[in-house]
Structures are given as C-alpha cells and as structure tokens.
Amino acid sequence: MHAGGSGGTSAAGHPAVGSGEAGQAGEAGGGNEAGDASGAAGTGDAGTNNTPTSTTPLECDLDGGCASNCTGETVSCEVESFASACEFELFHDTPATVTCGRTATVGIANCGACGSVAVEVYYDGSHCWQGIPDCQGPLSFGKFFDPHAPLP
C-alpha cells in the first residue's frame, strides 16, 4: 500500500498495487496516485492518456503488481514485438478483445523454451499489456510486459 492511500482490488480480484507513486510531501498525488502522508486525496484525470509515461512500469505481475483503473470497458489489444520472443513474433499485430481488469488469449505458441503456452493480453484501463504468464521461466512466469495503447 502506498503512503496515504488505501489498498483495493482490480476487477480481476487482484490487489490494486503499483498504480502510482505516493505524492511528494506537501502535495496530493495525481490521478491514480496516493495522496501525501497527510492523507490528502489524489486528484487528476486518472490516466486518460494512453501513452506510457516514465512512471509506467515496464512489467506487471497479475498476482499483485498489475494495477487497474477499470469502469468495465472492453477494448481491442494487439500483440507487439517484444524482446525478440518468438511467442510475441508469432502473433505480432494480432488483436484480441479484452475487458478491463481481465486477460484474453490471443493464441497458443509452441516455438521457444516455454513449450506450448498461451500468448495473452491484459488491459488495465489505460494500457494493453502482453505476456506468456504460464511460461515457467523466471523472467516470464505470471508477468505481463510492454505497456501500449489499445487499438482505436
């Protein structure tokens, strides 16, 4: 839990953590950030800009590190090339419809060290994420990567 904020859960039932940094002393947090140590509430647009910012993490873990700001919307997310992983290359530019706070399977890849695994997308209310969370490798297991804007 961030300073001055309170915990919660995403629509997928996962803890809503990592959604922003705590506000600096003497100022409230913006958007989905926690307020300062005095408990001031955050204000702002809560992430209406779909371009990842320098505060957007590069990966998230559905077991506690994928924050979401959902209102039940459904969007189309596509898989992008990422880290030369054959699983993402196989489904590059393939779209999938996903509801905020949930995952959707784009397809099954059987090309790399992970064996046969689902390539999935996740939407957090601002960004699409992609992953091979069932891969048993320590760099991929349970994780999603490459935050990017949903399709228009």
- Per the structure, the count of domains in the chain is 1
Domain-embedded: residue 96: yes
What pLDDT sits at residue 73? 95
Over the chain (152 residues), the average pLDDT of each successive run of 10 is: 33 34 33 35 40 69 82 95 90 96 96 94 95 91 94 95
Helices in the chain by DSSP H: which ranges?
86-90
Give pLDDT, residue 139.
Answer: 85
pLDDT on residue 62: 78
Residue 43 lies in a domain: no
DSSP-derived secondary structure letter, 4: T
Is there a domain that residue 68 lies in? Answer: no
Structural domain includes residue 132: yes
Asked whether residue 78 is assigned to any structural domain, the reply reads: yes
> What's the N-to-C CA distance of the chain in angstroms?
33
Does residue 1 fall inside a structural domain?
Answer: no
Q: Can you give the pLDDT at residue 2?
A: 30
Question: Taking the mean position of all CA atoms in its chain, how far away is CA 9?
Answer: 14
| 93 touches 76 (CB < 8 A) | no
Structural domain includes residue 138: yes
Q: How far is CA 56 from CA 4, 14, 89, 114, 126, in A?
A: 20, 18, 23, 27, 10
Domain that holds residue 95: 74-148
